[in-house]
Structure 1
Amino acid sequence: MKIRQRSEPGQWRRTLLTAAVSTVFGVGTVNAGQCLEGDLRAPAGYYQIPESDDGGDYDCERVEPHDGGLSLTSKYQGSDDARNELNEEAQQAYKEATEKVRSFEKAVIAAADDYQVDGDGTAALSCLMDNLDAWASEDALLTDDINHVGQAVRKWALAAAANAYLRAMASAPEGALDPAQSERIESWFRRLSDGVRAYYTDRDPDKINNHDYWAAWAVMSSAVATQECGDWNWSLAKFDEAMGQVNSGGYLPRELSRETRALEYLNYAMQPLTMIATFAEVNGYTLHERYQTEFRALANNVVEGLESPELIENLVGHEQITEGLYKSWSLAWMEPWQVMWGDVSGMQGFLEEWRPMKSTRLGGDITYLYRIDPLWPVDARPNPPGDIQLRDS
C-alpha cells in the first residue's frame, strides 16, 4: 500500500503554530516570521542566476527509480547499544541495496551544480527535472515495506532531492520549468514528507538523535519547495526538541553514547541542525538567537573536538574513530554557520583547508550557495537576482 496523498481535511497539514511552535518562539517572534503558504523562501544563494551555457555536450546520468522495498540491513548489525562497530558484510549488503537511491541523490545534486554553477545550461536543468520526475511518477520510496534503516534512507533522499529542486525552481528563468512536471515532483515530496513525519513524530525521548534532525531538515527543504506550512512548522518543532536535548556541557548525550564514534556523530548532527537554523533565519525565525547558549556551545564543542579529538576521548572514555571525518562534505555545515553567525574559534582553518565545501544532502556546492549573505529583511520580499550580492571570500 502506498502512502496516501493529503486528501482528508487536516491530514498532515495540521498547523503547530498555535501550539508547539508558539511555545518555541513566543508570540512576538511568530508574528514576525509566521509561515504563510506561498511565502517560504530559501537562502539567497539558491536564487543566483546560472552561469551561461557553454554550448558543449552534456552527459546526463539517468538513474532508474528504486522499485523495491526499504527493509534494509544496518551496517552496524550485531553491534551493542553504542552502535559503533561496523559489520563489513552487512555494510556491503546495505550499499548494494541502496545503490540506486544514493546514485539518485548524487545525480540530481550534480545536475543542479552543473546547471547553476558550471554553466551547462538547459541540458543540465532537464536532466535534473527528468530524474526527479521519473522517481515521482513511479512513486519511488513510497512503500510500506520499510524498517528503521529504510526510514533513514528515505529522509536523506528527500533532503537531496528537495534541495536540488529548490535550486532549479529558484534560479531558472520564468517559464523554464514544465508546470505538470513540477506538480508531479511536488506531490511526491509531500507524500515523502508524510512518511518521514509519520515515523519521526512522538518518538521516545530516549531514541531521539541525529536521525530526527535529518528528518526535520528533509521535511523543511520539502516544505519550502512545496510551500507547506504544516511541514515547515513540524520541522521547527523538531529543532526545539533537539535543543532540549543539549546538556549543560553543550553536548548531545545520544551522540556521546556512540562511544568511539561520538565525535563523528556530534559533527553529523551539526549538519542538519545548522541548515534548519539557516533556513529558519531567512524566513524570520531567529533560532540561533533563541538557543544561543545551547546551539553555540554545541558548535564550539564540535569544532574543538575536531581540532583535538582527545577532548571527546576524555569525555566518553573511548579513543575516537576519525577516518573519513575530515572531508569537505562532513564539514560543509561550517560554511553557512560562519556566514550566518560569525566565526567559531578554529572554524576558519577548516574552511580554508577544505573549500569548496560540498555536500549532497545539504544542497550541493555549499561554498557557492553561501558565498553571499543569505539574510533579507524580515518584512521585505526578496527580489532576486537584483538584490543579491556576492561576498568577498
Structure 2
Amino acid sequence: MKIRQRSEPGQWRRTLLTAAVSTVFGVSTVTAGQCLDGELRAPAGYYQIPVQGDGGDYDCERVEPHEGSLSLTSKYQGSDDARNELNEEAQRAYKEATEKVRNFEKVVIAAADDYQVDGDGTAALRCLMDNLDNWASADALLTDDINHVGQAVRKWALAASANAYLRGMAAAPEGAFDPDQSDRIERWFRQLSEGVRAYYTDRDPEKVNNHDYWAAWAVMSSAVATQECGDWNWSLAKFDEAMGQVDSAGYLPRELSRETRALEYLNYAIQPLALIATFAEVNGYALHENYRNELQALAQNVVNGLESSEVIEDLVGYEQITDGLYKSWSLAWMEPWQVMWGDVEGMSGFLDELRPMKSTRLGGDISYLYRIAPLWPVDARPNPPGDIQLRDR
C-alpha cells in the first residue's frame, strides 16, 4: 500500500490503520515484531504541515549525479589498525571524489527544511524532488566498482536522501507529486538498500562497527519511504547485532579501539542507534525497553565522556581528539532521545547550548522534527502543537 498525500490541510496523507491494526501503536494485539505492509510510519514531526511563507525567489541548487566509480581513498590511509590518524593528502582526494555526493545530501535535506520549516513553498519541494529524481534516473551510486569506503558513502547518501523524501512526502498536500517521479525515486531507494544490505550482511564479527549501525539506519529510513518490510526487518536484526556488541560496562569495544578517537566514534555510533530505536518505537517495537541496560549505559558513557574526555582517556590510555565533536550535528541524537526516554544526566546542558540540533544524515532540523513526542497513540492522533494538523479518523 502506497503512502497517500493529504487532500486538504489537516488530512492524513497515509491510509489510516484499521482499529485492529492501529492498536500496535498502543496496547498491542499484533504479534510483537510484526512488520505491517504499507503501515510503516515516520515520527509525527515528519507530518507537520509546512510553515506558510511567500516562498520568494527560491534558489535551487541542482547537483549533478555522481556517476562512475565508488572505489575511494580512505582519509585514514596508511594508519594502523586503530584507524585514527588522518592522512591529509588522502583526505583531500576523498573530499574531491565525494564532493557531489556530500553536496547532494546537504541540498536535499536543506530543501526539506526550506519547505517544511522555512516556508519556501512548492519551489523548495520541487527542488527536493527534482534532485532526487535526477540521481534516481541516472542510477547514481549503483555502480559495482565500489570498495569499503564507497560502501560507506553510499549508505550515508541513502540515509540523507530517504529522510528528505520522507519529509516531503509526509508534509505535502494531495497532488504535489508526479507519481512516476515518486516511483523512480522509490525504486532507486530499493536498489540502494539492496546494495547496502548485500555488503553489510554476515560481516566478520571483528569488522562490525558504527558503519553497520549507519547502514541499518539508512535501510530503515528507506524502508519507511518505500514500505519494504524486508528492509525494515533487516535493520532491526542489525540493531540486535549492535546491542550484542555493548559490553558489560556499557561501551562498544570496536569504537574504543580507535584509541585517540574513541570518544568521537562512540558518539558517532550512538547517533544511528538512537534514531533506529526512535523509529522502531513509533512503529510499536520497544527496542529501548528490550535493551534498556545496554542503551542507557551506552548513552550515559557517551555523555560522561563528552563532559570530561578524561573518562575515556583513562579507559583507553590515549588523549582524545575532540575537534568538531561539540557541534549541533554531532550531538543531534540527543534531541529524540530526550523526548522519547527522558534526560540522561548531563545531556540537557548540551541541548540547551547547541539547539537547534541539525544533522543532514539524521533528517535535517532535528529539533523541529522532534519537539513534539514522536509516538502515535492508539487513536492515530499525536498531541501536537498548533502547526501540525492530523484529522480524526
Q: Structure 2 length as normaliser, TM-score?
A: 0.90
User: Which residue matches 2:288?
Assistant: 288
User: Which residue matches 2:41?
Assistant: 41
User: Which residue matches 1:61?
Assistant: 61
**Shift in Å at residue 32 of structure 1?**
4.1
One-letter amino acid matched to 1:238: K
CA distance in 2, matches of 1:55, 1:105: 22
Cα contact 1:65–1:134 (8 A) shared by 2: yes
Cα contact 2:162–2:189 (8 A) shared by 1: yes
CA distance in 2, matches of 1:332, 1:290: 23
Greater mean alpha carbon deviation, residues 51-60 or residues 357-366 = 51-60
CA distance in 2, matches of 1:274, 1:104: 24
CA distance in 1, matches of 2:55, 2:219: 36
User: Which residue matches 2:245?
Assistant: 245
Q: Tell me the secondary structure at the aligned position of residue 31 of structure 2.
A: helix
CA distance in 2, matches of 1:222, 1:29: 26
CA distance in 2, matches of 1:211, 1:251: 16
User: Which residue matches 1:389?
Assistant: 385
**Shift in Å at residue 34 of structure 1?**
1.9
Q: Tell me the secondary structure at the aligned position of residue 85 of structure 1.
A: coil
One-letter amino acid matched to 2:384: I
One-letter amino acid matched to 1:197: R
User: Which residue matches 1:206?
Assistant: 206
**Shift in Å at residue 37 of structure 1?**
1.3
2:226 matched to 1:226?
Answer: yes
CA distance in 1, matches of 2:291, 2:176: 40
CA distance in 2, matches of 1:30, 1:330: 36
Superposed counterparts of 1:100-249, under 5 Å: 100-249=100-249
Change (3 A) 1:339 1:331: same
CA distance in 2, matches of 1:29, 1:190: 30
CA distance in 1, matches of 2:126, 2:279: 26
Offset from partner CA, 1:321-357 (integer Å, 9 cap, x none): 0011000000000000000000000000000000000
Offset from partner CA, 1:102-136 (integer Å, 9 cap, x none): 00000000000000000000000000000000000
User: Which residue matches 2:95?
Assistant: 95
More helix, by proportion: 1
CA distance in 2, matches of 1:55, 1:267: 37
Count of paired positions:
360
CA distance in 2, matches of 1:370, 1:73: 36
Q: Tell me the secondary structure at the aligned position of residue 31 of structure 1.
A: coil
Superposed counterparts of 1:305-324, under 5 Å: 305-324=305-324
**Shift in Å at residue 53 of structure 1?**
3.0
User: Which residue matches 1:297?
Assistant: 297
2:374 matched to 1:374?
Answer: yes
**Shift in Å at residue 383 of structure 1?**
5.0
**Shift in Å at residue 177 of structure 1?**
1.1
Superposed counterparts of 1:23-34, under 5 Å: 31-32=31-32, 34=34
**Shift in Å at residue 370 of structure 1?**
0.4
One-letter amino acid matched to 1:79: S
Cα contact 1:371–1:390 (8 A) shared by 2: no
CA distance in 2, matches of 1:29, 1:314: 48
Moved over 4 A (4+): none
Cα contact 1:372–1:388 (8 A) shared by 2: yes
CA distance in 2, matches of 1:328, 1:29: 39
CA distance in 2, matches of 1:271, 1:66: 26
User: Which residue matches 1:348?
Assistant: 348
Cα contact 2:313–2:320 (8 A) shared by 1: yes
Q: Tell me the secondary structure at the aligned position of residue 39 of structure 1.
A: coil
CA distance in 2, matches of 1:164, 1:55: 19
Change (3 A) 1:333 1:307: same
One-letter amino acid matched to 2:217: W
**Shift in Å at residue 213 of structure 1?**
0.1
Q: Tell me the secondary structure at the aligned position of residue 207 of structure 1.
A: coil
Identity of aligned residues (%): 84
RMSD between aligned residues = 1.3
**Shift in Å at residue 188 of structure 1?**
0.1
Cα contact 1:48–1:116 (8 A) shared by 2: yes
**Shift in Å at residue 29 of structure 1?**
9.1
One-letter amino acid matched to 1:103: N
Q: Tell me the secondary structure at the aligned position of residue 142 of structure 2.
A: coil
**Shift in Å at residue 30 of structure 1?**
6.8
**Shift in Å at residue 55 of structure 1?**
3.9
Change (3 A) 1:133 1:344: same
**Shift in Å at residue 271 of structure 1?**
0.5
Cα contact 1:373–1:390 (8 A) shared by 2: no
CA distance in 1, matches of 2:328, 2:340: 19
Long gaps (5+) in structure 1? 1-27
User: Which residue matches 2:329?
Assistant: 329
Long gaps (5+) in structure 2? 1-27, 388-393
